[in-house]
C-alpha cells in the first residue's frame, strides 16, 4: 500500500511552488496544521508557469500552468495538499480533485508600485507600466489611456527587480503578496475596487486535495473561512459563466454589506480592444456555496446583457 494513501497519522505533505511567496503560503498552512497536532512536510516544485517567462499567460495555456504539476503530485500520492493563490486556479478542477478550503482573505486590492511616482495620476504621459494581466491592462487603460502597458512576468521578486532596474516607471501587483512577504513599504498606493476591480479570488488561498481523501478534507475544515469562501465562490462563478481565462479581461469582486447581503461587482473588457468596458453589480442573501454560485451567474448574465461576450 502507498503510505500516502493510509490514514493521516502519517505526515501530511504539502505540494507548493518554490517561489518565495508560494513557500510563505505553504509554510503558513503548515504552521496552522502543526498547531493542531499534525506533522507536515513540504514538497517544493517548479511549474511550467514558473518556467515560461518570455510570453504572457494568455498565450501559453493560462493560469492552469501554475497548478498542473502540483495536481500530478496529489494524483500520484506524493502529496496530500496543494496550496494555491486562488486567482491562479482554473474555474473547473479536474475530476477527482476537490477544493477543501478557502482561507481568510488578505487584502484583495491591486497595488501601485513605483520608485519615482506616488500614484497612478502622477505618472507622466506615455509612462511605461508593467503588467501581464489583461484585466489590469484594460482597467489601467480605462483610467489612463495615454499609458504604455508592457508585459511583466516572473515571480514577485523578479518583477520588483525589473522595476528597480528601470525597465518600468511603475508596475501593478497584488497587494496581498506584498503584504504577506513584509514588503508593505513597496506599495505606494492601493487601488480601490471602484477604480481597479480585483481578479476573482485575488488575495485568497485555496487548499486542493484528492476528492476521496475525506480524512485530509476533515483535517483542513477548521482552516476554512466561510465568508471568504462564499465571496470568492461568487466571483469565480462569474468567470466560469463567462468562460473566463487569462485571455479574457474579466474582474469580479464581492463585498459583504452591513445588512448581511453579498454585493458582487464584475467588469468585462474586450480582449481585442474594440468594445467598451462593461460593468455589472448584483447583490443578495448568500449563505451557501450554491447561492454564491447563483449570484455569480446573475452577474455574468448582466454583463452579457450589456454586450459582454463569453469566451467560445
Annotated catalytic sites, by residue? 88
Do 208 and 92 touch, CB atoms closer than 8 A?
A: no
Which residues, at least 6 apart from 55, have a Cβ–Cβ distance to it below 8 Å? 153
Residue with the three cell numbers 500520492: 77
Alpha carbons 70 and 180: distance in angstroms, whole number = 22
Alpha carbons 75 and 72: distance in angstroms, whole number = 5
In the chain, helix, strand, coil percent, each to 5?
35, 20, 40
Beta strands in 145-259, from DSSP E residues, in sequence order: 148-150, 170-174, 189-190, 205-210, 250-256
Which residues, at least 6 apart from 205, have a Cβ–Cβ distance to it below 8 Å? 25, 28, 29, 83, 84, 85, 86, 102, 103
Amino acid at each position: 500500500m502507498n503510505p500516502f494513501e493510509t490514514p493521516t497519522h502519517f505526515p501530511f505533505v504539502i505540494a507548493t511552488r518554490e517561489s518565495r511567496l508560494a513557500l510563505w503560503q505553504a509554510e503558513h498552512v503548515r504552521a496552522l496544521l502543526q498547531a493542531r497536532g499534525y506533522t507536515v512536510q513540504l514538497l517544493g516544485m517548479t511549474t511550467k508557469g514558473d518556467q515560461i517567462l518570455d510570453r504572457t499567460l494568455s498565450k501559453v495555456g493560462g493560469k492552469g500552468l501554475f497548478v498542473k504539476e502540483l495536481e500530478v503530485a496529489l494524483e500520484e500520492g506524493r502529496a496530500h495538499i496543494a496550496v494555491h493563490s486562488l486567482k491562479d486556479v482554473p474555474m473547473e478542477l479536474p475530476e477527482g480533485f476537490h477544493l477543501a478550503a478557502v482561507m481568510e482573505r488578505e487584502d484583495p486590492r491591486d497595488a501601485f508600485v513605483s520608485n519615482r511616482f506616488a500614484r497612478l495620476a502622477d505618472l507622466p504621459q506615455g509612462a511605461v507600466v508593467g503588467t501581464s494581466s489583461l484585466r489590469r491592462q484594460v482597467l489601467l487603460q480605462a483610467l489612463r489611456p495615454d499609458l504604455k502597458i508592457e508585459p511583466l512576468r516572473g515571480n514577485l521578486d523578479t518583477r520588483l527587480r525589473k522595476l528597480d532596474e528601470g525597465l518600468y516607471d511603475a508596475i501593478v501587483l497584488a497587494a496581498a503578496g506584498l503584504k504577506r512577504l513584509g514588503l508593505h513599504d513597496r506599495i505606494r498606493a492601493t487601488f480601490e475596487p471602484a477604480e481597479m476591480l480585483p481578479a476573482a479570488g485575488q488575495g485568497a488561498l485555496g487548499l486542493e486535495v484528492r476528492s476521496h481523501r475525506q480524512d485530509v478534507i476533515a483535517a483542513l475544515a477548521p482552516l476554512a473561512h466561510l465568508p471568504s469562501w462564499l465571496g470568492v465562490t461568487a466571483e469565480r462563478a462569474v468567470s466560469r459563466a463567462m468562460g473566463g481565462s487569462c485571455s479574457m479581461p474579466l474582474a469580479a469582486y464581492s463585498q459583504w454589506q452591513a445588512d448581511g447581503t453579498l454585493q458582487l461587482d464584475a467588469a468585462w473588457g474586450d480582449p481585442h480592444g474594440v468594445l467598451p468596458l462593461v460593468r455589472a453589480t448584483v447583490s443578495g442573501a448568500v449563505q451557501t456555496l450554491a447561492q454564491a454560485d447563483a449570484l455569480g451567474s446573475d452577474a455574468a448574465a448582466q454583463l452579457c446583457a450589456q454586450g459582454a461576450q463569453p469566451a467560445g
